[in-house]
Amino acid sequence: MRRNTYKINTKILAVLLLFGICISVVWNEFSTESLAEESVKSKNQKIAEIRPSDLYARSAVLMDAGTGRILFAKKKDAQMPMASTTKIMTCILALENGSLSEKTEVSSIASSQPEVKLGMTTGQTFYLKDLLYSLMLESHNDSAVAVAECVAGDVSKFADMMNKKAEELGCRSTYFITPNGLDGQDEKGIHHTTAEDLARIMKYCIMESPQKEKFLEITGTDTYTFADCEGERNYSCVNHNAFLKMMDGALSGKTGFTADAGYCYVGALRKDGKTLIVSLLACGWPNNKGYKWSDTRKLMTYGLENYSYKEISPVQIGERKTIIVINGYIDGFPEKGTVLLETKAVGESKEILIGVNDKEEIEQKLKKGVKAPIKKGEVVGEAIYRINGEKTASYKLVSTKTVKERTVGICLKYLYKTFLL
């Protein structure tokens, strides 16, 4: 009896053990699948968008320097003073309109500028090249005035040059009064810009100007030493653009501060084939000097992680369409008053940065009421590529064939060839 009971208990124990093993295997498989699913979900999650409230700056822009497209904006059109970020315009105008080997004598106006300054004295002479390093590395206000006087004769004329160049670059809300960015005002208003305009000026300096390489060389220099032309005094400059050592690929930049402007910054970075520009206005006041670096890193990182290049070509956005040509004739019996003409898009392909959350749209606008004659290659419409509703690229739509006008002469000629020859 006991032996039978023992056998039964042994069998029950074996069954329970086997059941436990099965449950364990199933549970492990379930757990593994769950972890795999969570891993996939984690990889497929959309990268969070940056919000205006995430930044300290009152006005900010992240721009694709390749196209000028704005990837992020916070009050981009707000007109604000920009302090010493002004000096990027001063520098590029001097490079384009002056000679680096040119000597300039310091005026009493230049020598009387407030801090931060080189400490030049009236009557001293300097090479323009040396003053540009002083201007961009140490942000010396007296050097800015000396540069302006060297290039244009006086500050007022140089300000006119600055405003003319800003207008040429498409800066709609920028007004320069001083070459150093000190707060200023005249009958036309205050010395000011917008985050968008400031980014546009930097884009010109590093991407478009014939002197872009020299601009990058100067603004990317760590330290620079020089002497006045008389050789009586030596000077040493250290680059105060801390961003140059904060992120891989940092290219250029300029800091700024005045009581009205607060801390400002404009900088550029090139990495993974992308060139990005960040501009910040009113990014804190003392004791918040580091806010501009926090915002710059945040925006640059956002641009690098969320955007990738996509090729946009005429074939992609210019899908072949047909238009009706009134009173047209291509071949055959000219009995109809209209013909159908196929179109195609023409132009060069473009590389455009596309964000993970961007919405792409394609629109084709064809002319209506088109009348013959139409030549092959004649423009009959436009193919437009939009990102988030903004026109980003466009291509001309042209006719693929020549369409003659259906005239009495063409009809008679057809009849003659068909029935009389």
- 145: phi then psi, degrees, rounded to nearest 5: -70, -40
Residue 189 token pair: 């208003």
How many CB atoms lie under 10 A from the CB of residue 376? 11
Cβ contact 399:380 at 8 Å = yes
**The pLDDT of residue 228:** 98
Residue type for position 306 = N
Is a pLDDT exceeding 70 seen at residue 301? Answer: yes
Cβ contact 274:252 at 8 Å = no
pLDDT band at 30 (very low <50, low <70, confident <90, very high): very low
Residue 254 token pair: 């300029």
Rounded to an integer, what distance in angstroms lies between the CA atom of residue 136 and that of residue 154? 20
Residue type for position 297 = R
Rounded to an integer, what distance in angstroms lies between the CA atom of residue 278 and that of residue 303? 10
pLDDT per position as a tens digit, 75-134 = 999 999 999 999 999 999 999 999 999 999 999 999 999 999 999 999 999 999 999 999
- CATH architecture of the domain 313-420 equals Sandwich (2.60)
pLDDT per position as a tens digit, 354-373 = 998 899 999 999 999 899 89
Catalytic (active-site) positions: 84, 87, 139
Which class is 54-311 in CATH? alpha beta
**The pLDDT of residue 420:** 67
Token look-up 């100007």 returns 209
Residue 86 is given by DSSP the state G
Query: What share of the chain in percent tops pLDDT 90?
Result: 75
pLDDT per position as a tens digit, 173-231 = 999 999 999 999 999 999 999 999 999 999 999 999 999 999 999 999 999 999 999 99
Cβ contact 396:379 at 8 Å = yes
∠ at Cα 229 (224, 235), nearest 5°? 30
Q: E strand or H helix at 155, and its extent?
A: helix 155-168
* Dihedral sign (CA 371, 373, 374, 379): negative
Cβ contact 402:346 at 8 Å = no
Out of 196-200, 277-281, 335-339, pick the least confident: 335-339
Residues with Cβ within 8 Å of residue 45, at least 6 apart in sequence? none
Domain ranges for the chain:
54-311, 313-420
Residue 187 token pair: 């009958």
| Residue 135 DSSP SS3 | helix
Rounded to an integer, what distance in angstroms lies between the CA atom of residue 160 and that of residue 308? 39
Is a pLDDT exceeding 50 seen at residue 29? Answer: no
Residue 304 token pair: 């690098």
Residues with Cβ within 8 Å of residue 414, at least 6 apart in sequence? 333, 334
Cβ contact 322:286 at 8 Å = no
Residue type for position 215 = F
Residue 124 token pair: 């001293």
Is a pLDDT exceeding 90 seen at residue 21? Answer: no
- 190: phi then psi, degrees, rounded to nearest 5: -95, 160
Token look-up 């670059």 returns 169
**If you write DSSP's letter for every residue of 97-161 in order, what string do you get?**
HS-TT-EEEPPHHHHTPPSS-----TT-EEEHHHHHHIIIII--HHHHHHHHHHHHSSHHHHHHH
